[in-house]
Chain A
């Protein structure tokens, strides 16, 4: 029985390369009777939040998403929340929402609404939340722990936040300096969180296109730091971080011969496994470093 229906924005990556992130996320919340209702129409979030505050064109994409959420929530009727899953989408939409709801930006909001004469006006009531916040505030870590079906107690998992969940602090899902939310997730599934110094280091982001060497270096540092802290695997909530952390290991191993690979998981995959969902939902065959063996070994021990 669904108790709560929440407007949900998936984003492009979750519909193309990383459907496993979305599928596991939807199924995990369903266990707790929360349904994510995808916006009926949506566009790319705009990808990067625009720091040039006078170029309003860059706010149109996220503003349209906020309008779609506003209208969907009028139909669903039980909240004014918009849930996002990809860290990048979360950051862009949330920061834009902050711009569009600030009183001192009234003239900008009017300009944007006037330009978008094909849409209803944005009323400024949508609250953008990351999926992690829904788990923390609407499900609760205790509730997750109560529903765990697989023994993951021997797994050591490193929480990797990257930049976009924590910076800037006005959109941080947790304490930007000492976040706990991913560690709480790891604890709730019964595994051991391994905090490591580079938990909020940038993965190199889009440099992966134009300057892959830089990214390879960053990934080598981040992964080595996690492994030296004893991690068996790393969890993330960002498709771009995932790509860099997972796929770029191919090049890290070429550059550093002593480097041993480490599996990367979306936190929703870890939850899906812990909560007893079918492992095939995780589509581990799409990972460069396949985490399957990790779970099999641990379970038979």
Chain B
């Protein structure tokens, strides 16, 4: 990206540096510097599922890969990770993992209630495979262990950046659904440890009182062109400036 336009013009056809990647075992030559996701699209794959925000937040594009002669199994988000020469890739767009049903208002913030909904966590042998699998580099095992002893604050904080890609659950020999446990502990943390946000209460009251009904109805009646215009002229909060 550092090259100026002038520098590029000097060369008639800039020569692209290519790397070889293997998608489900088949070799493709793709331009270096592309993300795994873009490289797969370059190779002709079209994402219908397994791609979402393309910005590293939605967790839909979990990928596992290996290099020849390297015993390590690597995990990444396809939209965030540049291709490297010799990557053997496969996508894990979805991980089956049971999600407990509960009414958060009826769950007490204790180890025993977490274990009631996710009893598998007691099978953890501390192998740490989950932590090694996490593309967000979270200490997954540590938050499961904290949940196991009812340390909800630690578990919630350690799991805060979880994007629920599910790679931890796919790798776990104890068949734990880590990311669902994490969601439960964060809900408990919000309910029992954090002060309710005054702004949220205020906003909820405004919504209930119908403050935004008129504006919403106006939006609903707009044509696509009008909406487009409105969107493009929207106010964008300046970076680094907050109220």
- Tell me the complex Cα distance, A46–B123, Å: 9
> Does B63 belong to the interface (CB within 8 Å)?
no
B227 proximal to A (CB < 8 A): no
Q: A60 — which chain B residues lie within 8 A by C-beta?
A: 125-128
Contacts of B148 in A (CB 8 A): 12, 44
Contact in complex: B149, A57 (CB < 8 Å)? no
Kindly report which residue of chain B lies nearest to residue A115, judged by CB atoms. Answer: B127
- Kindly state whether residue B131 has any CB partner on chain A within 8 Å: yes
- B86 touches A (CB below 8 Å): no
Chain B contacts of A74 at CB under 8 A?
Answer: none
> Would you call B50 an interface residue if the criterion is a C-beta within 8 Å of the partner chain's C-beta atoms?
no
Query: CA–CA, A92 to B112, complex, Å?
Result: 22
Interface string of A28-67 (1 = CB under 8 A from B): 0000000000000111101000000000011011001000
What chain A residues lie within 8 Å of B151 (beta carbons)?
15
B171 to chain A, nearest CB (A): 13
Q: How many A-B residue pairs have CB under 8 A?
A: 46
Instruction: Determine the main DSSP class of A at the interface with B.
Output: loop
Count chain A residues whose beta carbon lies closer than 8 angstroms to a beta carbon of B: 18
A44 touches B145 (CB 8 A): yes
Chain A proximity of B203: nearest CB distance (Å): 36
Q: How far is the CB of A158 from chain B (nearest CB, A)?
A: 30
Q: Is A118 at the interface (CB under 8 A from chain B)?
A: yes
Q: Are A118 and B142 neighbours in the complex by a CB distance under 8 Å?
A: no
With a CB–CB cut-off of 8 A, which chain B residues contact A61? 124-126
Across the interface, do B125 and A58 meet the contact criterion of CB distance under 8 Å?
Answer: yes
Q: Which residues of A contact B150 (CB under 8 A)?
A: 15-16
B100-132 CB contact bits vs A (8 Å, 1 = yes)?
000000000011100000000000111110011
B184 near A: Cβ within 8 Å? no
Closest to A58 in B: B125
Closest to B132 in A: A118
Bound CA–CA A272/B127 (angstroms): 38
Known: A12-B148, A16-B150. A43 touches B126 (CB 8 A): yes
Min CB distance B66 to A, Å, is 15
Rounded to whole angstroms, the CA-CA distance of A116 and B22 in the bound complex is: 29
Contacts of A57 in B (CB 8 A): 125, 127, 173
Binding site for A on B (CB under 8 A): 110-112, 124-128, 131-132, 139, 141-142, 145, 148-151, 173
Which A residues are closer than 8 A to B by beta carbons? Answer: 12, 15-17, 41-44, 46, 57-58, 60-61, 64, 115-116, 118-119
